[in-house]
Structure 1
Amino acid sequence: MRFFSVEEANRLVPLLSSTFGRVRPWVERVQKLAEVLDALGSAPETLETRAQREERESLLERIRGELGPLQEMGLEIKGADGLVDFHARRGEEPVYLCWRFGEASVTHWHDLQAGFSGRRPIESPDDFEPTYLS
C-alpha cells in the first residue's frame, strides 16, 4: 500500500479538481433521476422511465470510468461529489490526508475511523512522510 506525503497529495489536487469538476454535474443528475425513479415505486415501466433508467446507468458508468483511475492510484473516493482520502502515516500511525472539492490544497488529516467530521488541520507537512510497501 502506498502512503502519501502532503506534497505528493497536493500534486494531485489539479487532477482531482478537474476530474470532479466534470463528474459533479453527472452525480447531481444521477441523484435527481434516482429520486424520480424511487418516487415511481413499483409502477409499470414506461418508455420514459426506461429512458431515465438507461440515462442513470450510462451516467454511473461514466462516473466509474472517471473515478476508477484515481482509485488505481491508491486514492479512496469517499464521495463521488468530491471527497478524497489519501493513505498516509503520521509517525507510525496510519491516517488519512483529506481533500474536498473546492479546496486549493490538502490541508487536513483524520484518523482512519474518524471520517470527515474528525478532520484536523495539518500543522506540519513533515509529519506525513511517504512510504512505499509492496
Structure 2
Amino acid sequence: MFSYFTVVAANAALPAVIEKYKHLQKQKEEVQKLEAQLNSMPLNLTDYVTVKQQLNSAVTKFYQAVEDLEGTGVVLKSLEEGLLDFPSKRFDEEVWLCWKEGETEIKFWHEKDVGFMGRKPLSVSDESLV
C-alpha cells in the first residue's frame, strides 16, 4: 500500500531498507557471476543447461529481492549508484527523500522530476516535509 514517508519514518525504516538493498546487491552479483560463467568458457550441453538453469533461478531471486525492497515503500532509482528514494510531501508538493549508499540517515530531498543532482539538504527550520 502506498504512503508518504516523513523524515522520521524514513529514518526509522532505513536500517531494514539498507539490509534489503544489500541483499539485492548480492543477488545481482550472483546473476553476474553465472552470466560470466555461461559466456566465458566452453561448456558441454549438460553443464550449459545446468548453469543456465542456475542463472534463471538467480534472475528470479534478483527480481524477488527488488520487489521485497520496493515493498517497503521505497523506490530503487539506481542499484549501480546506490540510490533509493522515499516518497514524501513538502507542503502540498510531492517530493522524494533521497538516500545514497553509505549514508546513515536521510539528509536530502529533491523534487519529483529532478534526479540526484538536484538534491537539497533537509532543513528543519525552513522546509516542511510531511
Question: Where on the TM-score scale, by shorter chain, does this alignment land: which range?
Answer: 0.7 to 0.9
> Per the alignment, do residues 89 and 49 of structure 1 end up closer, same or farther by CA in structure 2, a change over 3 Å counting?
same
Deviation at 1:89, TM superposition (A): 0.7
Distance 1:38 1:91 in 2: 52
Does the 8 Å contact 2:107/2:121 carry over to 1? yes
Q: Report what 1:58 is aligned to.
A: 57
Q: Secondary structure at the match of 1:124?
A: coil
Residues 17, 72 of structure 2: 8 Å contact kept = no
Q: 1:28 to 1:69 in 2, by over 3 A?
A: closer
TM-score by length of 1: 0.73
Take 1:5 and 1:26, find their aligned partners in 2: how far apart are those partners?
Answer: 29
Q: In 2 relative to 1, CA 56–115 (structure 1 residues): closer, same or farther, beyond 3 Å? A: farther
Residue 67 of structure 1 is matched in structure 2 by 66
Indicate the structure whose relative CO is greater, using CA pairs within 8 Å and at least 6 residues apart.
1
After TM superposition, give the deviation of residue 4 of structure 1 in Å: 0.7
Q: How far apart, CA to CA, are the structure 2 residues paired with 1:48 and 1:112? A: 47
Separation (CA, whole Å) in 2 of partners of 1:55 and 1:29: 10
- For residues 86-101 of structure 1, the aligned pairs below 5 Å read 86-101=86-101
Partner Cα separation in structure 2 for residue 72 and residue 25 of structure 1: 18
Match of 2:84 in 1: 84
The Cα RMSD (Å) is 2.8
Q: Where do 5+ consecutive residues of structure 1 fail to align?
A: 130-134
Indicate the SS of the match to 1:21.
helix
Between 2-11 and 62-71, the greater mean CA deviation after superposition: 62-71
Shift in Å, 1:86 = 0.8
Q: Which whole-Å CA distance do the structure 2 matches of 1:65 and 1:32 have between them?
A: 18
